[in-house]
Amino acid sequence: MQTRYAVISDVHGNLPALQAVIADAERRGANAYLLLGDYIVDFPWPNEVAETLRSLRNATIIRGNKEERLLNARVWRGNEQMAATEWTYRELTPENLTYYSALPSSAEITDDSGEKIRLFHNFKTLIREPRIEIFRSSLFHAQMGMSRFTIEDANLRYREAVLNRSDAMAEIAELPDGVYLWGHNHLQSKLEIDGKLLINPGGCGVPLDFAGAAPYTLIERTAERWKITQLRVKYDVQATVDALKASQFSKAAPVWVKLAEKSLLGGRDYFAPFRNYAHELGLSRGEPDYPVSNETWRLAAATFDWDSL
């Protein structure tokens, strides 16, 4: 039987979104799972997400920066900018903490066809310096420059941006042929360039390109080519937000909860603009760049223009 892979990334603790995506993938005949990291922190279900991942059959699962950050949770104890990570660390069972911490940072598998599939969380070829701005979630909507657009519009803009960057094109030319899966920026995309297939399934838990549904991607090798299906799964987003706001997590990390709510309901990035605002405010007050003091974090929350995006 041909392998049909469900590719999922950036759950960020949003259990209802993950459950909806897995149910949809099962209905569509997925028989393998490829997961690209960042399963925790912004929603109050880190254990339930871990147990869901651990229950998947035929799954290749790597870690993201959110899992790596768990290692420093005790160092940041009491800092409100890191409250979401600290709460998650305290909430996790020992078994699930060990599970997340032990995940590999990347992986490579071989499809039945013999083609290589490589898994990353942050794919430096496209998330690079200087930035390719269309891949930057905080600038994505401004870069699109449209009040309404489709995933096909976005894919064309991604391709155009990469083709216009000689440094990225030179790196892509040096990559071995095959499939490259990556996440991190919460923007669903697919590119086929120079014999390489570059796929981001989007931010399952907090999509930052469209609102209202959880993204993932199905890939399957047919006789002649890879079949790629970019999907969005509807679920009760408002009920998820209501549960988030009613949780103990909301009391522990209220600013992060507001950022998650605004980003999820609006389908755009509030995290990076707020974080940048807080850091600039901290620098103006003579503080280290990261993390800012609790006083600065609270001042940022009180003075940030929450309706500016």
pLDDT of 157-203, one tens digit each?
Answer: 999 999 999 999 999 999 999 999 999 999 999 999 999 999 999 99
Q: What is the predicted pLDDT for the residue at 71?
A: 79
> How far is it, in rounded angstroms, from Cα 302 to Cα 296?
10
pLDDT digits (tens, 9 = 90+) for 211-265: 989 999 999 999 889 999 999 999 999 999 999 999 999 999 999 999 999 999 9
Residue 306: the pLDDT is: 95
Q: What three-state secondary structure class fits 236?
A: coil
Cis peptide before 215 (omega within 30 of 0): no
**Secondary structure (3-state) at 96:** helix
The edge-to-edge listing of strands for the beta sheet with 226-234 is 59-61, 32-35, 4-8, 213-221, 226-234
CATH numeric code, 4-234: 3.60.21.10
Average pLDDT over all residues of the chain: 96
Please name which of 204, 177, 207, 214 lies closest in space to residue 193, comparing C-alpha atoms: 177
| Arithmetic mean of pLDDT, 29-54 | 98
Sheet containing strand 189-193, strands side by side: 107-110, 116-119, 178-181, 196-200, 189-193
Q: Which single residue is written with the structure tokens 């549904």?
A: 213
How many angstroms separate the CA atoms of 165 and 133, rounded? 11
What pLDDT does residue 308 have? Answer: 83
- Structure pTM? 0.97
Q: What is the pLDDT of residue 230?
A: 98
